């Protein structure tokens, strides 16, 4: 087992927990080697090395690290293990893996193997949700701040972004055919249900159906948007008239002004971009 660690993830949470994680894995009888990542490219290379050696590649960090490792393993059929160590930990939340790394170690010993879907924004893989528009601004602010720790950073980014937000026009092509246009806030192409530290933006999304849930957030006044924001943690926002949910294997997204596509907390593409899903692309240890 190769433990691929981003020691700075979660404000250093992964690095601080690493000694106890190693002891716990030893107590569980799991032989392992630790590698600290320099960047996501390095993490991908380590994942390929683990797969070539027949080892489980365990990503210990945030969703961005997990997505990078998952993308590398999808090329080789290697096995992915997950230890949450980031700010949001939305992939672990989706799988029912404990959100603290020490109890999550048990899944590496006793978990079963599941074949799960993997998303792609153009050629870049992601595990959770690719979004753009207002979400682009909120993610950029969240990633730049050093004032707020934990998953509250996403709420902070949203409030800050809302102050200067102006609606944009979006154009979508679903599965190469059906076209949609709308004016509003965001487009989210969801392989998973959660992003932003527990926001259930796509409550019906599945990691095993080979489809994306495409959530359109249409124009409403900013104060109305802010008042409705808490409903996303329950998934009840989808009942609002300014929300539309579509399903497709791929969606081509363009907009009236430039936006960066974010997924798993990181920038991964620029509009226009095509977001798609590959069914059963990764093998993952799950509870």
For the chain, how big is the Rg over CA atoms in Å? 18
What pLDDT is recorded for position 151? 63
Nearest to 261, CA basis, from 129, 106, 156, 163 = 129
Residues in a beta bridge with 116: 282
What pLDDT is recorded for position 154? 78
Is residue 52 within 8 A of residue 58, CB to CB? The reply is no
Instruction: List pLDDT tens digits, range 25-49.
Output: 999 999 999 999 989 999 999 999 9
**Contacts for 123 with CB less than 8 Å, ≥ 6 apart:** none
Nearest to 189, CA basis, from 234, 133, 113 = 133
Instruction: List pLDDT tens digits, range 136-184.
Output: 999 898 888 766 665 677 778 888 899 899 999 999 999 988 789 999 9
Spatial separation of the C-alpha atoms in residues 24 and 18, rounded to whole Å:
10
Instruction: List pLDDT tens digits, range 85-117.
Output: 998 899 999 999 999 999 999 999 999 999 999
Judge if the upstream peptide bond of residue 137 is cis by omega within 30 degrees of 0: no
Q: Is pLDDT at 10 greater than 80 in this prediction? A: no
pLDDT band of 229, cuts 50, 70, 90: confident
**Between 275 and 12, residue with greater pLDDT:** 275
The pLDDT of 188-198, averaged and rounded, is 94
pTM: 0.92
């Amino acid at each position: 087992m190769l433990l691929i660690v981003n020691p700075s993830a979660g404000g250093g949470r992964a690095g601080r927990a690493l000694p106890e994680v190693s002891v716990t894995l030893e107590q569980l009888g799991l032989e392992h080697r630790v590698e600290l990542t320099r960047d996501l490219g390095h993490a991908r290379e380590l994942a390929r090395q683990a797969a070539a050696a027949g080892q489980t590649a365990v990503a210990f960090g945030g969703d961005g690290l997990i997505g990078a490792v998952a993308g590398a393993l999808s090329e080789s059929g290697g096995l992915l293990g997950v230890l949450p160590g980031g700010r949001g930990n939305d992939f672990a939340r989706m799988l029912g893996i404990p959100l603290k790394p020490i109890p999550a170690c048990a899944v590496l010993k006793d978990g079963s193997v599941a074949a799960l879907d993997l998303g792609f924004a153009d050629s870049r893989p992601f595990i959770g949700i690719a979004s753009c528009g207002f979400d682009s601004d909120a993610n950029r602010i969240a990633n730049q701040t050093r004032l707020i720790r934990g998953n509250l950073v996403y709420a902070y980014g949203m409030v800050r972004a809302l102050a200067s937000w102006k609606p944009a026009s979006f154009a979508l092509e679903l599965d190469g055919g059906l076209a949609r246009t709308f004016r509003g806030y965001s487009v989210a192409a969801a392989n998973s249900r959660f992003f932003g530290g527990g926001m259930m933006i796509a409550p019906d999304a599945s990691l095993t159906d080979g489809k994306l849930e495409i959530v359109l957030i249409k124009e409403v006044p900013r104060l109305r948007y802010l008042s409705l924001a808490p409903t996303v943690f329950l998934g009840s926002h989808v009942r609002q008239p300014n929300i539309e949910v579509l399903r497709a294997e791929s969606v081509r997204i363009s907009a009236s002004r430039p936006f960066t596509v974010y997924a798993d907390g990181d920038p991964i593409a620029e509009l226009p971009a095509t977001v798609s899903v590959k069914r059963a692309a990764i093998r993952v240890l799950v509870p």
